[in-house]
Structure 1
Amino acid sequence: MILYIHGFNSSSAADKAQDLKHWLAARGRAFEWICPDLPHHPAEAIALLSHLIETADTPPKLIGSSLGGFYASHLLTRYDLKAALINPAVHPGLLLRPIVGTVQKYWHSDTTYTFTQQHVDELIALDQLAPAKPLNQLLLLENGDKTLAWQDAASYYRDAHQLIFQGGNHGFTRFKAVLDLIDQF
């Protein structure tokens, strides 16, 4: 099982989630793809992901993008899993604090919600001073990311396996090209 964890305000309809789904299907492994549409509250998202991990027949491999990378880092520590972290958010409680009080819209639907201090508090509660189990983490960054500072992730995950690519963007343009590598990790 591969559990894809999407980013902030995203969904299972995200390009990378769908690319992974098609990649697995082309290999006769469509049954391995799991990508829930996560609730916007971090505590609820972690509860849903934890339930999927705890009820899985085999321990899943995690792939997390952006905020999903932050969630994956938390979950791999709790459940001793492996994860590929793609342009992950580092300390998102601090990063997202400036948007408290703003209305947010999901990328793939018309659903909106107000981002509150509770969201920030829940993210801070999940944060780690330093990542645990760095050898269970494969960090994949593109230094053309204009949404998050790739240097923050490179420094924070300095003891993890790392691949840093020139150019690209926050969506990670090389995702299809690294799927074999992620699968072998």
Structure 2
Amino acid sequence: MAKRVIYIHGFNSSDKSYKAVRFGELMAHYDVDYCVPCLNHEPIQAIIALEQLLTPNTVLLGSSLGGFFATYLSQHYQIPAVVINPAVAPYTLLKPLLGLNYNPYQDYHYELNSSHIAALKALAVDDLRHPELLYLLQQTGDEVLNFQHAVNYYSQCKQRIEFGGDHSYLGFEQTFASIVDFLKIT
């Protein structure tokens, strides 16, 4: 059975994000089942959709809010995951965005409300019981998230910290070899 590689996009993003598409181009050279689900803004629906894709031979790659979801799945199901400029506490970050929102990548309007914040808080993993399953890719120039939060939270995990960059993770292609190696993609 081929390894399943699931890419988890971030908040207000889609399955067409740059990193999802570029990583898919790389995965075309491997014998893997590459999945990039287009996730709903509702955290519980997103997690359910992701859980339905899990197989015994799954690995994860998550960016921003997708990194938060990947951490949850990694620690609950003991799955290797690479997290890219991950949101550590999205329930605090998204509070200022409560109300009407628009996802330009999926072209739909929705309301972000306190139940979404509560759902994210319920998904938070306070104690990384399997830090060896996580690999942090972090750039210090992230203008959306405080990079130090991720460096501290994932302190027991493998880390690649790059100075500069931004939230999109500039030079993402340069991390491909280390991602493939960590996730044991052959």
TM-score by length of 2: 0.92
* Residue-by-residue CA offset, 1:12-56 (whole Å, 9 max, x unaligned): 10000000111111x154x52100001110001000101100xx3
Distance 2:91 2:30 in 1: 39
Backbone CA RMSD of aligned residues: 1.2
Secondary structure at the aligned position of 2:92 is classed as helix
Distance 1:61 1:175 in 2: 18
Q: What's the counterpart of residue 17 of structure 1?
A: 20
Asked if the contact 1:96/1:120 (under 8 Å) is kept, the reply is yes
- 2:93 pairs, out of 85, 95, 100, with 95
Query: CA 1:98–1:32 in 2, change beyond 3 Å: closer, same or farther?
Result: same
When structure 1 is superposed on structure 2, of 62-71 and 92-101 the one drifting more is: 92-101
When structure 1 is superposed on structure 2, of 103-112 and 32-41 the one drifting more is: 103-112
Is 1:105 paired with 2:106?
no
Ranges in structure 2 where 5+ consecutive residues have no aligned partner = none
Matches within 5 A, 1:108-127: 108-127=105-124
- 2:60 pairs, out of 41, 62, 65, with 62
Q: What's the counterpart of residue 37 of structure 1?
A: 38
Alignment size in residue pairs: 179
Secondary structure at the aligned position of 2:144 is classed as coil
Distance 1:159 1:147 in 2: 23
Query: CA 1:183–1:107 in 2, change beyond 3 Å: closer, same or farther?
Result: farther
Q: What's the counterpart of residue 84 of structure 1?
A: 82
**Which stretches of structure 1, 4 residues or more, deviate above 6 A after TM superposition?**
none
Shift of the alpha carbon at 1:156?
Answer: 0.8
Distance 2:96 2:102 in 1: 16
* Residue-by-residue CA offset, 1:120-149 (whole Å, 9 max, x unaligned): 010001012232311110000011100000
Q: What's the counterpart of residue 155 of structure 1?
A: 152
Shift of the alpha carbon at 1:107?
Answer: 3.4
- 1:2 pairs, out of 5, 8, 12, with 5
Matches within 5 A, 1:157-176: 157-176=154-173
TM-score by length of 1: 0.93
Secondary structure at the aligned position of 1:32 is classed as strand
Distance 1:184 1:107 in 2: 34
Asked if the contact 2:13/2:106 (under 8 Å) is kept, the reply is no
Distance 2:53 2:111 in 1: 27
Distance 2:134 2:15 in 1: 22
Structure showing the higher strand proportion among its residues? 2
Identity in percent? 36
Distance 1:100 1:106 in 2: 14
* Residue-by-residue CA offset, 1:150-185 (whole Å, 9 max, x unaligned): 000000111010110011110111211111111110
Ranges in structure 1 where 5+ consecutive residues have no aligned partner = none
When structure 1 is superposed on structure 2, of 60-69 and 31-40 the one drifting more is: 31-40
* Residue-by-residue CA offset, 1:79-126 (whole Å, 9 max, x unaligned): 11100000000111111112212x222131321101101110100010
